């Protein structure tokens, strides 16, 4: 059979009247004028979208239908790969000669729709690794993009015909064109969440299993890389840190293990996709937890620390007597910090999920029955922890309820009297907004994405936003004060906080994040279109925004000099209306000024890619 040419997956477009009922389309109810704009779809068709603005050339229309399609185009699939480096064309500015030579890696989902009628949640999309190699001296950027050849990807993709058939349900999806009832292929390791280059290894990580190692020169997949070897030996270790009620839950875990491991083929341990780098000690830190803990009112977390050659330096396991779902976490010189994102078992959802009638994640729901936020401060080095007598099993209760999404930085400072302050900068959201089954507005029953989930008209304070958490202890470890407040009083929805990595764990001055200008009425909060720079010392705020109907992903800091903001920010710009992606380089010092843009480079249209998740900058030296 002749191989099909590489192309972008056709998106199946509903007519405007089939938009989700939660998303208002007032322009269709009272049209002012029969005008249209045309948007090219990924399979080269043209979609005509009605506009109701007085100026037909106004491409910033707040028309709900155009906004709906813009949102869909942000998650369009990409089947094409490029193993040979492609030199990107510079559209604006120039790459500065002092730009450090290195590679910006960005991972995320690349494929959402197969050739047999199934569409999956973005979190279940196969990992698509993008690499931008930047040479400041030569003034050029070379681009590569490859799928991570996980076991699921190899099973679901036929390279001879370049066709896809989803066989794994994935935690957040159901299949339409594949086996639905009785499908036990749940844990679909897609290696699509974060990327790391540590020592001589390049790894793509996912939330539910081992990372995959990638050859950095070709982006070939080398196979799984075991970062959790030996974790099981801690289960009965004499020095294991335990919470309450270990015996009864050990019994329950013993009953669950044969089902989860044997029937659903879940790995005994799942590695969290977020890692930390301790620049002071030159260490990589990871966290893993037990698969069965997802269904039990207790949580076991194993923290591992590695040197630059992946030699294990230390490992500790903590049992916490609460049902938690942790995505990101924080690190200081002496503590691991966990925000207790509390969850509970959904009995009805569990039954439908096991049968294959709903996503497996339907078995879980958020648990908002506490008005506070428990924060666990786990001793990294027990001999140096706060007040030798402090019981880490007793969390610090923050005075408001927050679901933690991503951490920008955390640090601690001790005065001469032994009093300690721990401060953390992060993105959090409301328990009353966060919903496992509706992240990104995904509707698993229709396979469509509803922008209204991410763009609440009322109560935008429920959406992701930046906060500063401060906890003060006396020399005996007693809590003196704890607070949580908007970071620099920036109340617009925002996420993906980042800093100069050289200042990680230190009292940093600057936090960068993706946020929204709020200029578009029907997409006021997400997707993000603005980079915000917050000076936490003088409380100033400055921003840089992309143009109309353009969005951005996570910003990444590339350090150049010794000053904290002496460097560049890398961010991907998604021009959804024309289906283009751009690599944007910003001067971190000049955010808020007219000359903040250093360079904008165009990714060829046939390699246009969907929204990425997390990236990593690796210097060549």
Q: Read off the DSSP letter of residue 324.
A: B
> What is each CA distance from 432 to 24, 368, 402, 455, 485, in whole angstroms?
21, 8, 10, 14, 18
Question: Is there a domain that residue 407 lies in?
Answer: yes
Question: Is there a domain that residue 147 lies in?
Answer: yes
pLDDT, tens digit, 9 for 90 and up, residues 266-307: 677 889 999 999 999 999 999 998 877 777 788 999 999 999
Residues 577 and 204: their CA atoms lie apart, in Å, by: 30
Question: Is there a domain that residue 334 lies in?
Answer: yes
Residues 410 and 361: their CA atoms lie apart, in Å, by: 30
Burial of 573 (0-12, 13-18, 19+ CB in 10 A): buried
Q: What is the pLDDT of residue 60?
A: 41
Question: Is there a domain that residue 56 lies in?
Answer: no
Owning domain of residue 423: 72-619
End-to-end alpha carbon distance in the chain? 46
Q: Are 607 and 82 in contact (CB under 8 A)?
A: yes
Question: Is there a domain that residue 5 lies in?
Answer: no
Question: Is there a domain that residue 392 lies in?
Answer: yes
* Residue 547 φ/ψ, nearest 5 degrees: -80, -175
Domain count, the chain: 1
pTM surpassing 0.95? Answer: no
Burial of 2 (0-12, 13-18, 19+ CB in 10 A): exposed
Question: Is there a domain that residue 6 lies in?
Answer: no
Residues of the chain with pLDDT under 50: 1-62, 233-239, 241-245
State yes or no: 606 annotated in a binding site: no
State yes or no: 168 annotated in a binding site: no
Question: Is there a domain that residue 224 lies in?
Answer: yes
Q: Could you tell me which of 345, 557, 528 has the C-alpha nearest to residue 427?
A: 528
**How many residues make up the chain in this entry?**
621
Residues 80 and 496: their CA atoms lie apart, in Å, by: 27
Q: What is the pLDDT of residue 29?
A: 31
Taking residue 561's Cβ as centre, other Cβ atoms within 10 Å add up to 10
**The pair of three-digit structure tokens given for residue 354, joined into one six-digit string:** 């096991």
Q: What is the pLDDT of residue 454?
A: 93
Q: Are 76 and 7 in contact (CB under 8 A)?
A: no
* Residue 439 φ/ψ, nearest 5 degrees: -60, 135
Residues 183 and 536: their CA atoms lie apart, in Å, by: 50
Residues 557 and 501: their CA atoms lie apart, in Å, by: 7
Residues 616 and 201: their CA atoms lie apart, in Å, by: 13
């Amino acid at each position: 059979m002749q191989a099909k040419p590489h192309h972008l997956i056709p998106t199946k477009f509903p007519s405007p009247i089939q938009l989700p009922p939660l998303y208002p389309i007032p322009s269709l109810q009272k049209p002012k004028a029969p005008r249209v704009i045309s948007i090219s779809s990924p399979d080269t068709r043209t979609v005509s979208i009605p506009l109701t603005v007085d100026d037909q050339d106004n491409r910033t229309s707040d028309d709900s239908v155009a906004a709906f399609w813009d949102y869909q185009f942000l998650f369009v699939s990409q089947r094409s790969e490029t193993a040979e480096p492609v030199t990107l064309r510079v559209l604006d500015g120039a790459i500065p000669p002092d730009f450090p030579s290195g590679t910006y890696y960005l991972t995320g989902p690349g494929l959402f729709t197969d050739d047999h009628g199934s569409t999956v949640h973005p979190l279940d999309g196969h990992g698509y690794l993008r690499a931008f190699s930047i040479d400041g001296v030569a003034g050029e950027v070379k681009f590569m993009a490859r799928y991570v050849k996980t076991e699921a990807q190899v099973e679901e993709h036929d390279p001879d015909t370049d066709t896809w058939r989803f066989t794994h349900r994935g935690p957040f999806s159901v299949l339409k064109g594949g086996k639905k009832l009785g499908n036990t292929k749940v844990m679909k390791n897609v290696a699509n969440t974060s990327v790391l280059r540590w020592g001589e290894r390049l790894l793509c990580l996912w939330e539910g299993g081992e990372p995959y190692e990638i050859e950095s020169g070709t982006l070939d997949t080398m196979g799984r890389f075991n970062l959790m070897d030996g974790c099981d030996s801690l289960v009965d270790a004499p020095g294991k840190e335990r919470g309450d009620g270990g015996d009864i839950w050990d019994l329950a875990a013993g009953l669950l293990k044969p089902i989860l491991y044997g029937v659903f083929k879940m790995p005994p341990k799942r590695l969290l996709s977020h890692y930390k780098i301790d620049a002071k000690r030159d260490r990589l830190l990871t966290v893993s937890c037990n698969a069965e803990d997802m269904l039990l009112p207790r949580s076991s977390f194993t923290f591992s620390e590695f040197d630059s050659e992946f030699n294990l330096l230390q490992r500790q396991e903590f049992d916490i007597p609460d049902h938690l779902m942790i995505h990101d976490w924080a690190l200081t010189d002496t503590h691991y910090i966990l925000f207790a994102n509390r969850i509970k078992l959904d009995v009805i959802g569990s039954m439908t999920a096991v049968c294959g009638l709903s996503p497996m994640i339907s078995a879980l729901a958020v648990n908002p029955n506490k008005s506070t936020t428990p924060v666990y401060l786990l001793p990294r080095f027990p001999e140096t922890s706060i007040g030798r007598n402090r019981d880490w099993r007793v969390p610090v209760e923050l005075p408001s309820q927050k679901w933690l999404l991503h951490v920008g930085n955390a640090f601690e400072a001790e005065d001469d009297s032994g009093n300690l302050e721990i401060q953390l900068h992060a993105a959090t959201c409301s328990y009353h907004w966060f919903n496992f089954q509706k992240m990104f507005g995904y509707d698993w029953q229709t396979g469509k994405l509803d922008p209204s989930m991410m763009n609440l008209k009322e109560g935008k304070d429920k959406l992701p936003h930046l906060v500063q958490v401060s906890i003060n202890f006396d020399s005996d470890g007693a809590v003196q004060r704890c607070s949580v407040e908007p970071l620099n009083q920036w109340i617009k929805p925002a996420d993906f906080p980042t800093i100069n990595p050289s200042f990680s764990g230190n009292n940093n001055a600057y936090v960068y994040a993706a946020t929204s200008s709020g200029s578009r009425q029907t997409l006021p909060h997400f997707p993000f279109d603005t980079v915000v720079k917050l000076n936490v010392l003088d409380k100033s705020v400055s921003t840089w925004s992309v143009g109309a109907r353009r969005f951005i992903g996570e910003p990444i800091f590339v350090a150049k000099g010794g000053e904290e903001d002496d460097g560049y920010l890398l961010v991907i710009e998604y021009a959804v209306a024309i289906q283009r992606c751009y690599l944007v380089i910003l001067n971190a010092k000049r955010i808020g000024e007219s000359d903040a843009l250093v360079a904008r480079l165009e990714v060829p249209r046939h390699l246009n890619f969907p929204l990425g998740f997390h990236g990593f900058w690796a210097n060549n030296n």
